[in-house]
Amino acid sequence: MKMRRKEILDLSVVMPCLDEENTVGICIDEARGYIERKGLKAEIIVADNGSTDKSAYIAQSHGAVVVHVPNKGYGRALRAGISCTRGKVIVFADCDTTYDLSSLDRFYDPLSQGKCDVMIGDRFAGGIEDGAMPAVHPAGIKFLSALGRAAFGVKVYDFHCGIRGLTRSAAEKMQLRSPGMEFATEFIAEAAEKHLRIEQCPAVLRKCRYNRTSKLHTFRDGLRHMLYIISRFVKSMRKKQTP
Ligand SMILES: Nc1nc2c(ncn2[C@@H]2O[C@H](COP(=O)(O)OP(=O)(O)OP(=O)(O)O)[C@@H](O)[C@H]2O)c(=O)[nH]1
Ligand SMILES: [Mg+2]
């Protein structure tokens, strides 16, 4: 992935954002609290996907750098946000208060110490608060994660966790192209294909206590993940067979 700016910071926190005016400011403040306590040189980037509410204004007034991403899509927002970072370590997370951005040690420490290249949060290890997720989601995530593990040969148990981290050099090696939610799957598949060292850490999924509309379409997005896994697996098999 082409990184547009020079590396000069310890950490970049990136949040994809589409109409999250009730929560984006809280998430920025949590991340800033972590950065200050840890004494890091860092930036907070909100990749705003054409929000029609006050998200972009609130993000800016809470001190984040707002990157405007005109075309919709979770993957598009994250790719644009990540490409604008200047940190040696990049952590990205949803800005809907479901992930605790006030403690990022589980991501920052191993990545900054060179212990791994990519860190994926695992909500099954960290715990899912009551009501944080619709009842059918855990089974769907487990099924798609099992499929992903088989297809890409990785030991990742939560393929859709919205909090993750990577080093800058990992970001430079990965070729990320997905526009939508299947970005979460592509991210793991790419890390595996580029032989990056992938680790997992527990991540708690909190229930969002503020008024917001979910951007996730259970069946449509589930299907996108499944088709992505199958088509990438088939392509890699074909590549192996061609002499
Ligand atoms: N789906 C989607 N999410 C976007 C987009 N642009 C930014 N986002 C952000 O991506 C994050 C993920 O979306 P969520 O609605 O939280 O999806 P989820 O975490 O899978 O599902 P819930 O938290 O259960 O609603 C949020 O921070 C969104 O604001 C977009 O175009 N589509
Ligand atoms: Mg969410």
Q: 223 and 119 in contact (C-beta within 8 Å)?
A: no
Percent pLDDT > 70 in the chain is: 100
Phi/psi at 226 (5° precision)? -65, -45
pLDDT of residue 169: 97
Task: Give nearest CA residue, ligand 1 atom 12.
Answer: 94
Q: Best of 215, 217, 219, 225 to mutate for ligand 1, by most ligand atoms within 8 A of CB?
A: 215
95 Cα–ligand 1 center, Å: 8
**Mean pLDDT for the chain overall:** 96
pLDDT of residue 214: 84
Percent pLDDT > 90 in the chain is: 91
Record the tokens describing residue 225, joined without a space: 């993940």
Gap between the Cα atoms of 158 and 138, Å rounded = 9
Pocket of ligand 1 contains residue 97 by CB under 6 Å: no
Residue 108 corresponds to which amino acid?
Y
**pLDDT above 90: residue 68:** yes
Pocket of ligand 1 contains residue 18 by CB under 6 Å: yes
100-135 pLDDT tens trace: 999 999 999 999 999 999 999 999 999 999 999 999
Gap between the Cα atoms of 137 and 225, Å rounded = 13
Pocket of ligand 1 contains residue 121 by CB under 6 Å: no
CA distances from 154 to 137, 138, 143 (A): 21, 19, 14
What is the spatial order of strands in the sheet that 9-17 belongs to?
65-68, 42-48, 9-17, 87-92, 164-167, 118-122, 198-202
CA distances from 224 to 22, 87, 231 (A): 28, 31, 10
18 Cα–ligand 1 center, Å: 7
144-184 pLDDT tens trace: 999 999 999 999 999 999 999 999 999 999 999 999 999 99
What three-state secondary structure class fits 88? strand
pLDDT of residue 122: 98
Domains, the chain, ranges and CATH? 9-241 (3.90.550.10)
Task: Give nearest CA residue, ligand 1 atom 28.
Answer: 17
99 Cα–ligand 2 center, Å: 8
Q: 86 and 12 in contact (C-beta within 8 Å)?
A: yes
Question: Which atom, in ligand 1's list, is nearest to the CA of 19?
Answer: 29
Task: Give nearest CA residue, ligand 1 atom 21.
Answer: 216
92 Cα–ligand 2 center, Å: 12
Pocket of ligand 1 contains residue 17 by CB under 6 Å: yes
Say how many CA atoms lie within 13 Å of 90 toward its Cβ. Answer: 26
Q: 17 and 77 in contact (C-beta within 8 Å)?
A: yes
- Tell me which ligand sits closest to the C-alpha of residue 214: 1
pTM of this prediction? 0.96
Residue 34 corresponds to which amino acid?
Y
- Mean per-residue pLDDT, 207-228: 91
Q: Are strands 198-202 and 118-122 parallel, antiparallel or unpaired?
A: parallel
How does 27-58 read in b/e, with b if 16+ C-beta sit within 10 Å? Answer: bbebbbebbeeeebebbbbbbbbebeeebbeb
Question: Which atom, in ligand 1's list, is nearest to the CA of 94?
Answer: 27
Sign of the C-alpha dihedral, residues 81, 67, 59, 137? negative
